Structure 1
């Protein structure tokens, strides 16, 4: 039985050892990564992965990203063509997830791929997540550590607010540096396909038609209030998230810095969700690349539910 509230331990050798013990016992634990906090469990243990779905309330058709220590470990799980290898060597460890054909002998629990012949793989850069991978010796399924469809967690306290007693342990590594989920690219033969925009800009055709990877549900990252986009002004009922020259009640970045905006996005959505205002408005986020990734998150957050 899980405790009434999760333990929160600052990242340390002792904390990683405790996290590894829980993972070995089939429990998911919340871990910091460079993107957002992840809910990590042994990807070879179907029951453990099912506890991730249970904790998140996650739709069964939405597959999970598997985190591994390095490219060599990834190649034991997925099949990498030349294009996939080039991307992995250029961007791993880091905030890039590659969807590749799944090896039948990988040992990954079928629940991880949600019935698909492909698998989403990432080599994280965060030292705490790398330490847990080393301590467990297992590939770790690790979607974002928040209730499914809700705002992603970029701080330990966000995990507590979203998941509470559904998990046993949170490793506190401070605020996430990137603050935006990984870019996802499918390398399954033929041209590369961009499945989700993120911190890394990849030259690939955008393809959002299927559920091949996390974050492709139309209503996603959703606060509990109506959200209005491209708001240059707000009425008194709206908590206004500003950007650049539009100050708002608080700003993603007063200077228009997109890296700062991405890192603060989920923090401010949490803040707006907790504010007394019954609605939320967000200023326009012009530009391409990272700006488009931020707009994509906001569009999903604003989608009717």
Structure 2
């Protein structure tokens, strides 16, 4: 493991070497910390099973809570998911980059292992220039909130370092993350689009674009597609995908009210 390096990534004019170092770390199968539009996230190459396991180990969480995947743009959608409904495309066009995580059926041919996903993947395009600059170089990253499970999500790179320590060799310092409300999670693995967790986007905003059903009552979500032990975060109740938001991930479970940014909201990096 190389020495821990906190790299300044606050200025696009000078952050090139910092992004280069993070890209190199990802290519070596190492972890990186990155800012997102919610909280700081911890990221790994989504196609490197050992790196993804290292991410879960660094957070102290099991395979039943798989991280979501952050992507650089909507064009990546078809390469990772099967049968993308027109409604999903409409939502992605309207709200990406932004606080919307979408759970879809994963392409069965993909060589990845995110954990117990039940054949799904939770995807988001973060609205943060540092995260996007990195994702355009690395491709899809498995990202969860940069904190130990059960502890507060980090809104500064120093907070992330205090929790994760030497498990992450490169940390990109993009200043203070906004925190606030987690991403809204929509499950697109069933016959209808359905909210799993309400967050920054409310049902009215979603339905202005395409029909989306309200969250099921708790007793009906236990075995519903896209729900279960791994769907929360940057924390997660989990839709079939094991959905972080830095969105980093969803928060532990479907929520009928907006979820505060915090542990495992699937930055989104899990949020």
TM-score (normalised: structure 2): 0.75
Deviations 1:256-305 (A, max 9, x none): xxxxxxxxxxxxxxxxxxxxxxxxxxxxxxxx98x7423x969x9xxxxx
Alpha-carbon spacing, 1:49–1:297, altered in 2? closer, same or farther (3 Å): closer
Q: Does 1:106 align with 2:110?
A: yes
Question: What does 1:127-146 align with in structure 2 at a 5 Å threshold?
Answer: 127-136=129-138, 138-146=139-147
Gaps of 5+ in 1: 219-287, 301-305
State the secondary structure of the residue aligned to 1:97: strand
Match of 1:91 among 78, 90, 95: 95
CA distance in 2, matches of 1:32, 1:297: 14
RMSD: 2.4
Q: Does 1:293 align with 2:265?
A: no
Larger Rg: 1
Deviations 1:41-78 (A, max 9, x none): 11011111111011111121012111111111121101
State the secondary structure of the residue aligned to 2:202: coil
Q: Does 1:7 align with 2:5?
A: yes
Gaps of 5+ in 2: 10-14, 205-212, 238-254, 266-271
Asked if structure 2 preserves the Cα contact closer than 8 Å seen for 1:2 and 1:167, the reply is no
User: Comparing 57-66 with 19-28, which one deviates more in the overlay?
Assistant: 57-66
Asked if structure 1 preserves the Cα contact closer than 8 Å seen for 2:200 and 2:258, the reply is no
Give the CA deviation at 1:2: 4.6
The structure richer in helix per residue is 1
Equivalent residue for 1:30?
A: 33
Give the CA deviation at 1:196: 2.3
Q: How many residues align?
A: 223
State the secondary structure of the residue aligned to 1:189: coil
TM-score (normalised: structure 1): 0.67
